[in-house]
Structure 1
């Protein structure tokens, strides 16, 4: 019998008031139902917010080291169940096992990192102008934080929002993506087992139109953090600001790798292939544009095509690259393949559905390379969110930098070069929140800020590291005369 998962509200595992559930299938084998989840409504979301609001003051008053102890214990419990959680992530999202295992470990590391940070929260002491006075600041939690998270990193992204929110003393309501919610519920179980007080965390599954909207608009919610598409993120930002909330959005990308005249084509192809085809291209930081100097263009294309054609595709449990997460995502990628061909780009590799018994029923797409792409094509301007790389030829570094910046997004960008001056110019002039030299566009450290420019972010607050804590705290200034 398929397992039926419940919501986590006020320390209890409960059914939704709607009485409805939705099945989540394995994208490598859609006929296989992994579990059934609550199809909750606005009333369920409101109950969760009210539970969080009731628990907020006591949790805020809990000493930081004790909050950190609970986070650390939850991280230990996640680590003990790493194989189990990896299997669930592979089954629901389709990610290759090595990638899924790394993502689970990322969640463990995040909990341990912010466990330590919980003890450091305090404030600053300043020198007053008046005699006989102390002047200092204190950091306080904002209150109730609503977290809305995507399916492509279904445990890492909830963890990197949830851990700093709890470390800072906030109560939380979380809505994971409906298409792969299982591992987010496991975060709640780990925290519950670690001793998190009732009501401090509440997880409700269901559609964004009901659960997400209630979280955003409920008067007891003080802050909203959203990760997802730019289109939905803009709506969330408008809803949240109209309701007077503090808001943070991290959105899509159209991430370039600029390949300089001085670059080794084989090394550059490795970097682009890893950034473009890893996680089946389903990462907001995935490389989708290779902007290549004309002197190394032909050799680079040959190398990249060779890598695309050698990727081992199949169910994530046994293969290098798994399926896309849903039929809709696969069909969207294939639609972009058709658009690129119609606009005059040349298909150099992939572009279709792979053949074979292991892949015939899943949502698989071949790693795809387009050449002869121009900067104004839709394939070079719009986020595809699949394993598709458009290769654009440029005549010099200045043109490459201009092409890299000439998109409405600005999340991650990289350059492959042996020229130190070019590397420094790229750091100074690339319009992206994450800039990398001789590295793939994907992959993030947890202790430094993450966020984008332009349509890739609300440009309000960054995530991760100390910046991640800042979103969930507010400063109070104290004048103490004696």
Structure 2
């Protein structure tokens, strides 16, 4: 249905808790609608029902949010970093206290199970606590000078206003990855919430303000990317833009920021290789391959969508993986293995890509279509899909689909596997399964990826570790970890001349 229809809004979260009829903006500590009153609909990917209406923000709303951030930022930056960290620690602890309420909102918006949403929320809390501690570690550097009587050092300073644009696949984790490091560095922020997960950002903003975050330090703008996100990236008073999403949109944001010489951090797509060697523990490899390809309905930039298998174990591994994939339970419950994809548009894109691959000669081993039985027909459910016989340069092998779809490739040996792993426009994550430590370490050294994993999955970042990719998976920045401080701060050289005779 179109926005503004008479359809009734769902007001309650399963398990208790009220939702707003309108997921509005948070600007200068106050919640409100878009300036022109426009809205869009947020629907459940589980059954299509209307969950809420969302403020359809435009450039006017973005400008108001940036103005609020600019007004609040000097006082926030003047607060010592340790004290900013203490405020953010209170925000993280408040999120911990509301973890079940947040997880129910995440589950409602995304269709993932409450169990998975709770784990994601706990990860966001861990991220917040780690970054709050960075308020005590905003290190500069003290070094020597070639000039007698001169001391040389560097200090970190905030950029100013940070524009944060996040995706809906892991919404509260994505919010935490960007908000906490941006704020601990002394910036104020404007968060452009994903239109497919507006309530997560709305609830986080409420929790943060109730925990004592000063008004205007964090502002949330709802709406569509081309209308609100584009205006945020282009705003001349936004000093740094951090974006997580598709490579196509990331390229546009990079061009926009380049025209005004603004800092930009891009965490983009992936078509991540999962290599299975002839000496691998096949049971473990199958388990990790299925998790890498299908957990979170394949909606991870770090999903393992290219499964590269040595010829000697190919048939056995393939048959084991097909059997495991067919046994996966699809639905929104805690007993299920994966839920729906986020919306009808994304589902249609996946179905079309699989159809084109099949018509080009690839073989669909299992899945390949929409689930249309009574339990799933009203939702956005893609059957977990395995494909073999696709060429390494085919569309399905080189395009991120962001769904539960993976392709298998047969290779002779390690060198061919490594060459195929690197034969991609992306370079985000990679995994290898082998019992040979020499082979594993050579893979780690030579694979073209920002993250390399031995005998595990292609996903699973931690708060204290940097994450990011090569090639079209990013622009070289890393978030989170201490490396995120480089995104959200500027270094200033300081030279102090000391006259010993003046003592």
User: Shared fold by TM > 0.5?
Assistant: yes
Task: State the alpha-carbon separation in 2 of the partners of residues 186 and 107 from structure 1.
Answer: 13
**Residue 32 (structure 2) pairs with residue 26 (structure 1):** no
Render the CA deviation track for 1:392-439: whole Å, top value 9, x for unaligned.
Answer: 000111001001110101111111111112111111110111111111
Alignment of 1:141-220 (within 5 A): 141-220=158-237
| Contact in 2 for aligned 1:83/1:101 (Cα 8 Å) | yes
**Residue 261 (structure 2) pairs with residue 247 (structure 1):** no
Deviation at 1:317, TM superposition (A): 5.6
Partner of 2:13: none
Render the CA deviation track for 1:329-363: whole Å, top value 9, x for unaligned.
Answer: 11111112212211211111111223432212101
| TM-score, normalised with respect to structure 2 | 0.93
SS at match of 1:131: coil
Deviation at 1:52, TM superposition (A): 0.7
Partner of 1:312: 329
Partner of 1:468: 484
Partner of 2:15: none
| Contact in 2 for aligned 1:96/1:279 (Cα 8 Å) | no
**Residue 142 (structure 2) pairs with residue 125 (structure 1):** yes
Render the CA deviation track for 1:269-322: whole Å, top value 9, x for unaligned.
Answer: 111101000000011000101100000000000110011101111224652211
The match for 1:10 among 20, 25, 28 is 28
Task: State the alpha-carbon separation in 1 of the partners of residues 246 and 438 from structure 2.
Answer: 35
Task: State the alpha-carbon separation in 2 of the partners of residues 386 and 454 from structure 1.
Answer: 21
Task: State the alpha-carbon separation in 2 of the partners of residues 266 and 347 from structure 1.
Answer: 22
The match for 1:377 among 376, 381, 394 is 394
Partner of 1:427: 444
The match for 2:367 among 315, 338, 350 is 350
Deviation at 1:376, TM superposition (A): 2.4
Once the two structures are overlaid, the 10-residue window that deviates more, 1-10 or 472-481, is 1-10
Task: State the alpha-carbon separation in 2 of the partners of residues 41 and 179 from structure 1.
Answer: 17
Alignment of 1:60-459 (within 5 A): 60-316=77-333, 319-459=336-476
| TM-score, normalised with respect to structure 1 | 0.97
Segments of structure 2 that go 5 or more residues without pairing to the other structure are 1-7, 10-20, 499-503
Task: State the alpha-carbon separation in 2 of the partners of residues 469 and 181 from structure 1.
Answer: 26
Task: State the alpha-carbon separation in 1 of the partners of residues 276 and 125 from structure 2.
Answer: 35
Task: State the alpha-carbon separation in 2 of the partners of residues 184 and 15 from structure 1.
Answer: 15
SS at match of 2:305: strand
Render the CA deviation track for 1:185-217: whole Å, top value 9, x for unaligned.
Answer: 222112111211121111010122221122112
Once the two structures are overlaid, the 10-residue window that deviates more, 4-13 or 160-169, is 4-13
Deviation at 1:265, TM superposition (A): 2.3
Task: State the alpha-carbon separation in 2 of the partners of residues 409 and 98 from structure 1.
Answer: 31
Task: State the alpha-carbon separation in 1 of the partners of residues 199 and 358 from structure 2.
Answer: 38
Task: State the alpha-carbon separation in 1 of the partners of residues 57 and 191 from structure 2.
Answer: 13
SS at match of 2:396: helix
SS at match of 1:475: strand
SS at match of 1:287: coil
SS at match of 2:205: helix
Runs of 4+ with deviation above 6 angstroms: none
Render the CA deviation track for 1:148-174: whole Å, top value 9, x for unaligned.
Answer: 111111111111111001011001011
**Residue 494 (structure 2) pairs with residue 478 (structure 1):** yes
Task: State the alpha-carbon separation in 1 of the partners of residues 137 and 400 from structure 2.
Answer: 39
Quote the RMSD (CA, aligned, Å). Answer: 1.3
Deviation at 1:374, TM superposition (A): 2.8
| Contact in 2 for aligned 1:65/1:118 (Cα 8 Å) | yes
Partner of 2:501: none
